[in-house]
Structure 1
Amino acid sequence: MSADTRLGEPGGGGLAEVDEPAFAGVVERHRRELHVHCYRMLGSFEDAEDTVQETFLRAWRRRETFQGRSTLRAWLYRIATNACLDLLARRRPEPATAGEVPWLQPYPDRLLDELPGVGADEPEAVAVARETIELAYVVAVQHLAPRPRAVLILRDVLGWPARDVAELLGDSVNSVNSALQRARAGMREHLPAERQDWTGGEEDAATRELVRRFTDASVATDIPALAAMLRDDVRCSMPPTPGLYVGRDAVVNNWVEDGFEGMTGLRAVPTAVNRQPAAAFYQWHDREGAYLPLTIDVLRVAGGSITEIFTFHADRFPRLGLPERLPAAGPRRSGGAK
């Protein structure tokens, strides 16, 4: 059988006779969506990459078990979900606590753009896809125990029927429905109160202007100007560095204690991460004769104020497709970070 799109569709037959190159060609077209699924489960871009590789390896070794009774896509999701649960059992037997997720990593929008498109006539599906990749959602998910986490993502994000989730987990439909209710309650404890109106599609002009002012003030290290843009209950974290700062005063005091106000030679490059506005910061190094990566700020904006800031270290720049350095010459870029 050739590696065509009929493989894995009802009536398309099994995979037992497919050679390895043909098999790879069939499963590779699902890589990005499986990677995003694993990322939601794990909160780590790199762990998600490892798990997708493990998924494809398990799928190849067990290819004779696929007989076309379900789609190839659903079969791969089953394997990927179990691979995530196995990884969580080995590495993170306990979920996140106290709002902190030290293993959290950002997901670049340029890779999210590779996902299969959702039709314009499906606004609810578009909203779900966007909201469930934002960092606040990913953080909230990490506070759930692994199995309820899987139930929530399979049911509420992927839209799987309860009976299919029960079959995947080797559980009853009643148990799955109970786990879903517990998971939803747990999410409400960790998601922002204004979540119902925190997105709404593309950034509007007011949000873009706020991000521009924030990044300009950051490059200028103008703490009073930055403070004026923060909501009273703003949250700020810098995974994997421990520490979650809640409230404008706590965030500003942390910036002051870290010596941010005295920093010089900053430039910023605007970008987008997890469907949120972000800015990558660079600092001038005389010895290198260039601006080198410093940090990246990912912002959540609601009600005309900045409500959350996730700051990631320079080691994330390559994964995000950001330049390794900026030359001395060239126009100033707008952006901002701590």
Structure 2
Amino acid sequence: MPRFKHRIVQALSERKAQGLYRQRTRLDRRQQMIECHGESLVNFSSNDYLGLAQAPELIKAWQQGLSLYGTGSGASPLVTGFHSAHHELEVQLADWLGYDRALLFSSGFSANQALLFTLLEKDDVLIQDKLNHASLMEAGLLSPATMRRFPHNDTTALYRSLLRCHHQHPEAASMVVTEGVFSMDGDLSPLAEMKSLCARYNSWLVVDDAHGCGVLGEQGRGSCDQAGIKADILVVTFGKAFGLQGAAVLCSEETADYLVQFARHFIYSTAMPPAQAYALSKACNLIQQGGWRREKLQELSELLAERVEPEVELVATTTPIKPLIIGNSDKAVSASLALKERGIWVSAIRPPTVPANSARLRITLTAAHSRSDIEKLAIGINEVIHD
């Protein structure tokens, strides 16, 4: 057998034996219902926290954008791909989130990688939360900088890392990277304390707020706004609360110019369609004006906590992400399948996405859910966990 084929077959066999084999499921979607093999299920695995992905206003805005700009951008931003809709969205985001500039990317993965690959050099020190997203971890490992990781949300350990860096590498540039909301646990980063430590040791704080922007803070400005701090660099993504796709890096004028000159993910990628940027401007308006959506999320969170029985170990969070830790991967998959039989879609999340022995049901609420949806979910969870 050829070596590549042997390697592939062996790896797939091992993954199946470990109970970690992943498969795509073809779905059709309408509001918070999804169609799977002819069955209708209530979707509790979406990151569409504000319910904007199916909002009529947003659909109409994208249609208007298509009429104005056509389908694709046609080139990278530095050739002919930067259109008026992109510029207007960047200005809108920068003004709303309080930064000099915003730069658009086609995904959060590319935005994070562009940021770390471009800014970090050989003698720099990168300090990351151990539970940061794979895009951040991979970029850190492949960058020329020295990467250190600290236990999740442990500011004492972060302090020790910064102190060590200060003493051992007094001339080194250091960067601390964290997420505003951690996607698998739904918990918040201690941003105020982290910002204070970074300021003390002249380190930059970078916050990936993919799961916080739109949901937390005044007018949905996100985790940093809620914590009362301003990160040196902020990354927001559009595939969650914005209901669309893409990302933006918020930063100073000089940093933006530096990224335009040197960030390969920005320079050599086709720009997002201008019609999409046009729709994102509408999404940005809906987020700012949609306080009722955030209020409804809070109401539904409280209802779920009330209806789930006390012995069910549903993790209490202040975000729409509600993990139910099961531990064993096979049991998590079985629980997910049992909920599907009850008309509820909740994905089982297994290693390596989460640490070993922490497989879980990742339950997410959205403003498009109804109270009856939450009642159905709670009944299903209570029954499945007791089985």
Query: Does TM-score exceed 0.5, indicating one fold?
Result: no
Structure possessing the higher relative contact order (Cα contacts under 8 Å, 6 or more residues apart): 2
- Measured against the shorter chain, the TM-score band is 0.3 to 0.5
